[in-house]
Amino acid sequence: MTLYVGADVGGSKTQVLLAEEERILARLVAPGAAVRSGRALVSSSRIAAAVRNTLAQAGKLEADVLVVGAAGAGREPARSELRDGLRSERLAARVIVTGDLDIAFEAAFDQGPGIVVISGTGSVAMARLPDGSVHRSGGLGWQMGDEGSGYAIGRAALAAVGRAADGRGPATTLAARALTVTRLPDFDALVAWSTSAQPGEVAMLAPGVLEAAEQGDAVAESIAAEAASALASLVEALARRFPAGAPIPLAFTGGALSPKRPLGLRLAKLLGQTERFAIREEPLDPAEGALRMARRALR
């Protein structure tokens, strides 16, 4: 029987699925391994460890096809570098590497048209038009973009905490929440932590910010509203490419975004003010999209 592995690799977590034909044999969640510039081999070793552990759960050593959709691997040369690293690990007879957005799109719409927007550690949106052409919006990384992402939300929260401490901004509960998440003792320790924190670590603050917004913290509310607006702009930039007519299929995914979570509800409310979109309500499992691509690779 043919063995397929699909991996969804983000900045905060990696999810791996192992299937024998249509039957799921094993599922594993591991730390994130998003590709950073010049560090594809580091990511490949982390992904390989997660895949090996998943294979071991089912008593397997190697798969027939491995498809990895990784944040940071949407463009060359990162994609080919990651693929070369994974091939050297001898995890599968055939290794396919693509971006995390590609497997999310596969999970949402298979080969059909639509728009997928991701907000995890980073943010990006992708559209496939009825003519089959593919377009992207965002996905430029934490220095040039990632508006509306978990990182952007966490970064805005840290800035707001700093302004509040100086008396330059309103009081907020976000300082206490940040100390809880980071397990730090005080504000000075938080300042020191922030100077070396990686994007994935900063993004860990986002759930608390969104929760504070729901509980009435005005500063958190402003940050959440800005994040939803930024994500809506990614979607709207792509929507302009679609011909007029039927509503555009739209799906949300990512650690900071799902249809039933606070940021997803805000985004759906913004975009639902018109009848331009048909928003998918079911949550996406991008790792399932990776498996679908793996199965199709042998057809």
CB crowding 257-289: b at 16 or more within 10 Å, else e: bbbebbbbbbbbebbeeeeebebbeeebbbbbb
What pLDDT does residue 75 have?
Answer: 77
| Residue spans per domain, the chain | 3-105+286-297
Question: How large is the angle between the packed helices 262-271 and 218-239, nearest 10 degrees?
Answer: 50
The CA dihedral of 270, 213, 117, 10, to the nearest 10 degrees, is: 180
Longest dimension (CA), the chain: 65
What pLDDT does residue 92 have?
Answer: 94
Task: Extract the tokens encoding 121.
Answer: 């550690």
Residues in the chain, pLDDT under 50:
none
> Which residue blocks in the chain are alpha helix, DSSP H?
40-57, 78-87, 100-109, 141-144, 150-166, 174-182, 187-194, 199-203, 206-214, 218-239, 262-271, 286-297
**95 DSSP assignment:** E
Is the pTM higher than 0.85? The answer reads no
What pLDDT does residue 32 have?
Answer: 85
Give the span between the Cα atoms of 189 and 178, in whole angstroms.
Answer: 11
What pLDDT does residue 292 have?
Answer: 92
Of 3.40.50.300, 3.40.50.720, 3.30.70.380, 3.30.420.40, the CATH number of 3-105+286-297 is: 3.30.420.40
Instruction: Summarize pLDDT for 74-96 with one digit per residue, the tens.
Output: 777 888 889 999 999 999 999 99
Contact 79, 71 (CB under 8 A): no
Task: Extract the tokens encoding 171.
Answer: 């009081």
Q: Which residues pair with 278 in a beta bridge?
A: 249
What pLDDT does residue 259 have?
Answer: 62
What pLDDT does residue 59 have?
Answer: 94
What pLDDT does residue 25 have?
Answer: 94
